[in-house]
Structure 1
């Protein structure tokens, strides 16, 4: 038997919790009628296969959701790191500009003193 990944287990737990709450409500309102058995979709094995297919679809969708979520999170981290690098570079550039401005003022003062 194939073991479920943690993502699949979480998805199943969420689905089971939702199913349990739905089934509690359904028990209160469920009233079987003669139509219940008239429109049976097929033999029990067919129902089991269909149930398994639906469960697999749900697993696949949950897996895809969490994979996409992880990709989006990595992209966000990348943009944040890129943004922080740009901010750091701009800060360094401003510091250099300030140093050059100070050096220019110092040289102008020195030049003025030499002229006097």
Structure 2
């Protein structure tokens, strides 16, 4: 599903049954999780080198990186707005979906984006 995303797309992040916690702009193409690079104080490093198995167990399991069916990908983003889970934005009538990525076309989606822009002062 991440292949639906293109550079400059906006991603509105919703935690099911919790609410919206952020919006980000896609800054590049999807990358295999084991090849994803992050900026650190020591320069660019593979994510796997800077994150523990407790934080991202799948990244440290060799079998999950060899099996095409379970291979994980990451999309680089630039956060525009994010809030702690305890401040998630939720109200009746907002769009919700269980998929990792979706491209909604319902009027409910337009309403949701407008409410989030208003709540977070995002243009």
TM-score range, shorter chain: under 0.3
Comparing both structures, which one devotes a greater share of its residues to strand?
2
Give the number of the structure with larger relative contact order, counting CA–CA contacts within 8 Å between residues 6 or more apart.
Answer: 1
Q: Larger Cα Rg: Structure 1 or Structure 2?
A: 1
